Amino acid sequence: MVRTLVVSLIFSFSCLPAAVAAPPVQLDFPVLVLGETAPVRLQLAPHAGGLALYSIHMNTMDSGVVSGYQVTGVQCPSGFQFNLYRNGQGAVCYRAEDTPHAGGVMVVQVINVDAADGHTLWEEGLGFLDAHGPPQRTAWHLFGVRP
């Protein structure tokens, strides 16, 4: 009985990811005048290995609602690949290696193309996806200034 319990516990803990990953954490909150560009740093959480995708979105998927901001470039941590979505709709840093990674910083260049004056909170604008669970999302915050 005890042996069965111990084996079951060892097996269940061995199936858990070594680090619990999460959506990126926004480190910069720039104030962007219409037409201005600024970097936004996103802290990427450590991950146990396997497929890991960290993303930022400037529109609401499937609805066509846009924030007024666009992504013009992205820099990912060492060991990551990247993809820019068409029309500046967002970017993703991803990796598929089986080895764990310690996280890092993703730097996204954002431009104010037609954002509202003041604070924009974009629900589910930052995302994380891996094979260990459902997609995780959180908001990003930017501040626009219109002339």
User: Which pLDDT does position 56 carry in this prediction?
Assistant: 97
Instruction: Give the pLDDT mean for 123-135.
Output: 90
- The residues with which 31 forms a beta bridge, in sequence order, are 143
pLDDT in tens, 42-88: 999 999 999 999 999 999 767 778 899 999 999 999 999 999 999 99
Please list, in sequence order, all residues whose beta carbon lies within 8 angstroms of the beta carbon of residue 60, skipping any fewer than 6 positions away.
66, 124
Residue 119 binned pLDDT confidence (cut-offs 50, 70, 90): very high
Domains of the chain, residue spans:
19-145
Average pLDDT over the chain, rounded to an integer: 87
Q: How far apart are CA 6 and CA 112, in angstroms?
A: 57
Domain 19-145 -> CATH class: mainly beta
Residue 131 binned pLDDT confidence (cut-offs 50, 70, 90): confident
Shortest CA distance to 142 belongs to which of 124, 119, 113? 119
User: Which pLDDT does position 31 carry in this prediction?
Assistant: 97
Cα Rg of the chain (Å, integer): 18
pLDDT in tens, 32-41: 999 999 999 9
Task: Name the token pair of 117.
Answer: 């004056």
* pTM for the whole structure: 0.83
Strands 37-44 and 69-75: unpaired
Q: Is the pLDDT of residue 5 over 70?
A: no
Residue 147 binned pLDDT confidence (cut-offs 50, 70, 90): confident
Q: How far apart are CA 142 and CA 145, in angstroms?
A: 10
